[in-house]
Amino acid sequence: MWATSRGGERDGYCGVVEKRIGNTVINTCPNTVTHSRMPILREEERVLDQHFLHFSYVQGFTPTQSDSALFIQFTTPPHHSFHSLHRWYTHIHSYGTERLKFPGPKHTSLSFTFNNTKVTIMVNKTTDETGVAAMDSLSLAEKDSGQGQGQGQAEDIVDPWNVQASSNKGIDYDKLIDRFGSSRIDEALLERFERITGHKPHHFLRRGIFFSHRDMHSILNRVEAGKSFFLYTGRGPSSDAMHLGHLIPFIMTKWLQDVFDVPLVIQLTDDEKYLWKDLKLNNCHKLAYENAKDIIAVGFDVNKTFIFSDLDFVSGEFYKNVLMVQKHVTFNQVKGIFGFDESSNIGKIMFPAVQAAPSFSSSFPLIFGAKKDIPCLIPCAIDQDPYFRMTRDVAPRIGFQKPALIHSTFFPALQGAGSKMSSSDETSSIFLTDTPNQVKKKINKYAFSGGRDTLEEHRELGGDCEVDVSYMYLSFFLEDEARLQEIRQEYSSGRMLTGELKAELIKVLQQIVKDHQERRKAVTDEVVKQFMTPRPLNFTGKS
Ligand code: TRP
């Protein structure tokens, strides 16, 4: 019997009794079961999480009564760390009472045991294989591990449009890994990287600037087996004022291209910026070409790199893939992932499919021919992950591989790690067009210091590298490991003063900005055209 029920929303019953919601009689469980309603165990959540890692629903491509039946088993939302299960849960939850109208039940059944009671939910065959086997092996002796969740703590906001830390220490990246369900880039991965590539990992990887990944081991497996993959990254061209932070994913991508010798596609989402910003379509298109110059100036190899504007390129095979993605993602799903609502313009609702499509090699027939199965690695800032969670979710359902990812932290604003550098706030950013003097002035004036209030205090207590923006920037841009360590020691012991730390950073950044400007000057319209012309790339095509 459903003995308890917490929260009006989920006062379920299952075959034993019937329940009325309004005038509708619902009976969501196909089989009669008799048991007390107990919280779902951690172990059970873990198994379900595994299931939803590979499937969007209990069965098939649309939610059914099976999902509804499972949903009402939850007396509280599943734990955040069960990312796939949690996503399924919030998605089903978002339907409200519409859940009652889900179609079903169908032919076969998925059986699993909750709290010593066998619950049967109608499923299809594929689900059976992964779902039931795992469920049956569950040990139900385990007691409820007491989840202690949902106590309404302030959370960092991280989505493609907002980055705001809940504390001045900056974003809690460990928590993000939990919430997003990705994996930490750890020592073991870095060691393996070095062993397979023969290259010492880039300092972005060693210093935790790229800190999280999905399926990076599969990419390394492939490289180990002498096979290839391709790189994909992108930029939304909303202003011609690119800043230092914008360079981070491109610097990482260039290094990966050099190390692995693989083709690269770079998407310029002029369409996205038109849909989201108050900008004219032609202006977005122009900005894409302007930004392409800064991207090219990072040093990509023209023989292995294709840069495209969505406005120019979305058509043909690429568009076919966009459509396949669109057909397999519902409004409810993008609502759950991106927070769209009924008043969002419809371009926004479909746009994620456009950002998904470059993850599939068949979107680029000129580069990959008919090969549909060349895996993709996407270096990006962690705020882009929602797009690729969606992409990874649909990929197997439309016959493609899931893209692998490596995620970077944000480049902090001059004012501190609570927010990221942003073009729309002049004082938060060092632009790639800044003069040496501007670089110097901004750092001296705005860069948040972890130094102490008085000289005596500073000498005694030392500076705090954890919050000091100048130190953070050095960890991004000063490659010399020994010097960085030295600075850290000198500064935190109080021997080095904030002014001295800033002077060191100013030198480093002036050089970087100057070099960038020189390389950019060499990027003519002709060069841009070369990069942006659809064409075969120099790619050996081992697969
Ligand atoms: N949406 C991204 C932005 O606004 C642009 C983008 C498109 C992107 N495809 C990508 C970024 C792939 C990283 C990886 O900047």
152 alpha carbon to ligand 1 midpoint, in Å?
Answer: 31
Residue nearest (by alpha carbon) to ligand 1 atom 9:
234
Q: What is the average pLDDT value for the chain, to the nearest integer?
A: 83
Residues 320 and 203 in one domain: yes
Q: Averaged over 440-457, what is the pLDDT?
A: 94
350 alpha carbon to ligand 1 midpoint, in Å?
Answer: 15
Residue nearest (by alpha carbon) to ligand 1 atom 5:
235
Residue 21: pLDDT over 60: no
Q: Averaged over 59-72, what is the pLDDT?
A: 79
Residue 412: pLDDT over 60: yes
Strand partners, 120: 111
**How many distinct structural domains can be found in the chain?**
3
Instruction: HSE, CB side, 13 Å, CA atoms: give it for residue 174.
Output: 2
Residue 203: pLDDT band by 50, 70, 90 thresholds?
very high
Residues 376 and 435 in one domain: no
Residue 39: pLDDT over 80: no
Residue 424: pLDDT band by 50, 70, 90 thresholds?
confident
111 alpha carbon to ligand 1 midpoint, in Å?
Answer: 41
Q: What is the pLDDT, as a whole number, of residue 427?
A: 83
Query: Which of 32, 195, 22 lies closest to 97, judged by CA?
Result: 22
Residues 363 and 504 in one domain: no
Residue 418: pLDDT band by 50, 70, 90 thresholds?
confident
Q: How many residues are given for the chain?
A: 543
234 alpha carbon to ligand 1 midpoint, in Å?
Answer: 4
521 alpha carbon to ligand 1 midpoint, in Å?
Answer: 25
540 part of a folded domain:
no
Q: Where residue 480 sits, what CATH number does that domain have?
A: 1.10.240.10
402 part of a folded domain:
yes
Residue nearest (by alpha carbon) to ligand 1 atom 6:
234
470 alpha carbon to ligand 1 midpoint, in Å?
Answer: 27
Residue 121: pLDDT band by 50, 70, 90 thresholds?
low
157 part of a folded domain:
no
Q: How far apart are CA 106 and CA 135, in angstroms?
A: 20
203 alpha carbon to ligand 1 midpoint, in Å?
Answer: 23
Residue nearest (by alpha carbon) to ligand 1 atom 4:
236
Residues 73 and 188 in one domain: no
Q: How far apart are CA 388 and CA 352, in angstroms?
A: 9
Residue 387 CA: nearest ligand 1 atom is: 1
Q: How far apart are CA 283 and CA 237, in angstroms?
A: 10
Residue 380 CA: nearest ligand 1 atom is: 13
In sequence order, which residues have a C-beta less than 8 Å from that of residue 221 and are 6 or more positions away?
none
225 alpha carbon to ligand 1 midpoint, in Å?
Answer: 30
Q: What is the pLDDT, as a whole number, of residue 168?
A: 61
Residue 104: pLDDT band by 50, 70, 90 thresholds?
confident
Instruction: Tell me which residues have their CB closer than 6 angstroms to ligand 1.
Output: 160, 232-236, 267, 269, 272, 355, 378, 380, 384
Residues 77 and 113 in one domain: yes
Select from 362, 386, 410 the last residue of a domain: 410
pLDDT for 286-336, tens place per residue? Answer: 999 999 999 999 999 999 999 999 999 999 999 999 999 999 999 999 998
472 part of a folded domain:
yes
| Residue showing tokens 């604003």 | 413
Which of 254-263, 418-427, 533-542 has the largest mean confidence?
254-263
14 part of a folded domain:
yes
* Strands 24-26 and 19-21, sheet pairing: antiparallel
What is the best residue among 247, 269, 306 to mutate for testing ligand 1's pocket, by most ligand atoms within 8 Å of CB? 269
Residues 271 and 313 in one domain: yes
Select from 379, 410, 441 the last residue of a domain: 410
The pTM for the full model equals 0.74
Q: How far apart are CA 279 and CA 484, in angstroms?
A: 42
383 alpha carbon to ligand 1 midpoint, in Å?
Answer: 9
Structural Rg of the chain based on CA atoms: 26
533 part of a folded domain:
no
Residue 249 CA: nearest ligand 1 atom is: 13
Q: What is the pLDDT, as a whole number, of residue 178?
A: 85
Q: Averaged over 487-491, what is the pLDDT?
A: 97
Which DSSP category does 330 fall into?
-
What is the best residue among 387, 389, 423 to mutate for testing ligand 1's pocket, by most ligand atoms within 8 Å of CB? 387
| 19, burial (CB in 10 Å: exposed 0-12, middle 13-18, buried 19+) | middle
128 part of a folded domain:
yes
Residues 379 and 488 in one domain: no
Spell out the SS3 assignment of 59-109.
Answer: CCCCCCHHHHHHHCCCCCCCCCCCHHHHHHHHHHHCCHHHHHHCCCCCCEE
Residue nearest (by alpha carbon) to ligand 1 atom 14:
233
534 alpha carbon to ligand 1 midpoint, in Å?
Answer: 19
Residues 190 and 335 in one domain: yes
272 alpha carbon to ligand 1 midpoint, in Å?
Answer: 9
Range in 39-53, 102-116, 175-189, 341-355 with the lowest mean pLDDT: 102-116
Residues 50 and 188 in one domain: no
Q: How far apart are CA 265 and CA 306, in angstroms?
A: 5
Q: Which two tokens stand for residue 468?
A: 């000091």
Residue 28: pLDDT over 80: no
Residue nearest (by alpha carbon) to ligand 1 atom 8:
234
Q: Are 123 and 108 in contact (CB under 8 A)?
A: yes
Residues of the domain holding 365: 166-410
160 part of a folded domain:
no
Residue 74: pLDDT over 90: no
Q: How far apart are CA 385 and CA 177, in angstroms?
A: 11
Q: What is the pLDDT, as a whole number, of residue 18?
A: 31
Range in 181-195, 345-359, 407-421, 520-534 with the lowest mean pLDDT: 407-421
Query: Which of 43, 70, 73, 75 lies closest to 59, judged by CA?
Result: 70
- In the chain, what percentage of residues exceed pLDDT 70? 82
Q: What is the pLDDT, as a whole number, of residue 5?
A: 30
Q: Are 39 and 143 in contact (CB under 8 A)?
A: no
pLDDT for 137-187, tens place per residue? Answer: 222 222 222 333 333 456 777 777 777 777 666 788 888 888 888 999 999
Backbone CA torsion sign across 166, 170, 176, 178: negative
Strand partners, 110: 121
Q: What is the pLDDT, as a whole number, of residue 163?
A: 72
pLDDT for 240-259, tens place per residue? Answer: 889 999 999 999 999 999 99
What is the best residue among 233, 247, 385 to mutate for testing ligand 1's pocket, by most ligand atoms within 8 Å of CB? 233
Chain-centroid distance, C-alpha 382: 5
Residue nearest (by alpha carbon) to ligand 1 atom 1:
236
Residues 29 and 48 in one domain: yes
Select from 360, 392, 410 the last residue of a domain: 410
For 53, phi then psi, to 5°, come to -65, -35
- Top pLDDT among 89 and 489 is at 489
Residues 170 and 297 in one domain: yes
Q: Which two tokens stand for residue 357?
A: 């499509």
Cα-based angle 467, 170, 484 (whole degrees, multiple of 5): 40
Q: Where residue 195 sits, what CATH number does that domain have?
A: 3.40.50.620
Range in 111-115, 291-295, 461-465 with the lowest mean pLDDT: 111-115
- In the chain, what percentage of residues exceed pLDDT 90? 60
Q: Which two tokens stand for residue 54?
A: 């590979």
Q: How far apart are CA 273 and CA 541, in angstroms?
A: 34
**What are the CA-CA distances from residue 250 to residues 18, 224, 226, 282 (Å)?**
58, 24, 25, 25
Residues 219 and 352 in one domain: yes
What is the best residue among 321, 355, 378 to mutate for testing ligand 1's pocket, by most ligand atoms within 8 Å of CB? 355
- Top pLDDT among 432 and 170 is at 432
Range in 67-81, 105-119, 228-242, 396-410 with the lowest mean pLDDT: 105-119
490 alpha carbon to ligand 1 midpoint, in Å?
Answer: 38
- Top pLDDT among 283 and 44 is at 283
Residue 378 CA: nearest ligand 1 atom is: 14
Q: What is the pLDDT, as a whole number, of residue 108?
A: 52
Q: What is the pLDDT, as a whole number, of residue 111?
A: 61
Strand order from edge to edge, sheet including 230-235: 183-184, 210-214, 404-408, 376-381, 230-235, 264-268, 305-309
Residue 274: pLDDT over 70: yes
Q: What is the pLDDT, as a whole number, of residue 539?
A: 67
Chain-centroid distance, C-alpha 191: 23
3-state secondary structure of 312: helix
